[in-house]
Amino acid sequence: MAQTVLVSGGAGFIGSHVTVELIQAGYDVIVADNMSNCDKTCLLGARKITGRKIPFFKVDFCNRNAVERLFQANKIEAVIHFAAFKAVGESVEQPVMYYRNNLDSFLNIIDVARTHGCRNILFSSSATVYGQPEELPVTEESPRQEATSPYGNTKQICEDILRDSVKAYGNVRGIALRYFNPIGAHPSALIGELPRGVPNNLVPFITQTAIGKRECLSIFGNDYPTPDGTCLRDYIDIVDLAKAHVCAVSRMMEDKMKEPYEIFNIGTGRPVSVLELVNAFQKVNGIKLNYRFAPRRPGDVTAVWADPSKANKELGWKAERPVEETLRAAWNWEKYIAKK
């Protein structure tokens, strides 16, 4: 009998890709989402890719009774928690909404899961917890910097909630995956990133500019102390990222954890600049992108990229997809949704 994984926020960009990889690795998946930040495009795409019905429940994870009903109705052996608000700028304007939503939902999941014998909790964390690191590349031992936004702070607090719950309750163990910059789309072009309104993130803004939805891409700052003056990031392909979640779930389910609470950086280990990414997108897709250099964006860090060796060694996972392939998939996805 396949083991069942609950993917909270599973109708979203990362959640839907993880759902596909889990099913293709032999797990059963239940998707629960409050649909506040996405429509059913990616859920339907995941069903098409896998050929599976994939049970879906509309759930507000801040409603503890709803979470209770979910666990009563399903035998869940592990939870991957994505359900959270994630717009950095919006979190600065709406801190209470962000703390309420992102913390209450996670507290409910941990509390209800453990009372139903589900002891495996995988938390979707972020490299944003490192802020602007003193030393690069970033390892899991690199100190977390004070969060520069309520969004980033909720990631740090949720890591601490998981760490303290593991310590306090004998029946919880957890893994936090710190993603760097997830980009791209599934090679089928049936699932991908669907930002609401004007995209905050770079790659969806690039693809929307290329398709004509946006007039011009602004590159925020070309006067940084970097080789070409633009910021450096560690862009991790979304399918590679999704596969890391399968490795982490298996590590928990197969009792291979070395500590009851573990943290892994999920990145390529390769810094890429904004301008390099823009040029790679143009080259691989044969497109001339309309862009301009604009002032720096407040809150941006100059450079951050991972040392992924712990995940490579312990999870047996490594980023494999070349960035050119990722950018081709991102463009194919943009063209697919433009036709819908």
Q: Which of 86, 243, 245, 251 binds ligand WQD (CB under 6 A)?
A: 86
The pair of structure tokens assigned to 217 is 């891409």
* Stretch touching ligand WQD by CB under 6 A, among 4-12, 59-67, 132-140, 199-207: 199-207
Closest CA to 206 of 229, 235, 178: 235
- Measured CA to CA in angstroms, residue 41 lies from 37, 102, 181, 192 at distances of 12, 23, 22, 9
Q: Both tokens of residue 313?
A: 């060694």
Q: Which is nearer to ligand WQD, 47 or 86 (CB)?
A: 86
Residue 293 interacting with ligand WQD (CB under 6 A): no
Q: Is 212 helix (H, G, I), strand (E, B) or coil?
A: coil
CA distance 130 to 127: 6
Distant-in-sequence, close-in-space partners of 307: CB < 8 Å, separation ≥ 6? 137, 138, 139, 265, 269
Q: Does 274 bind ligand WQD (CB under 6 A)?
A: yes
Nearer to ligand WQD, 303 or 337 (CB): 303
Q: Which range in 103-111, 139-147, 216-224, 253-261 contacts ligand WQD by CB under 6 A?
A: 216-224
Answer whether 119's CB lies under 8 Å from 172's CB.
Answer: yes
Total residues in contact with ligand WQD, by rule CB under 6 A: 18
**Which residues belong to the active site?**
151
- Please identify, using beta-carbon distances, which residue of 57 and 220 lies nearer to ligand WQD: 220
Applying CB under 6 A, which part among 57-65, 161-169, 198-206, 258-266 lies near ligand WQD?
198-206
Name the residues that contact ligand WQD, by CB under 6 A: 86, 88, 126, 128, 181, 200-202, 205, 217-220, 231, 233, 274, 297, 300
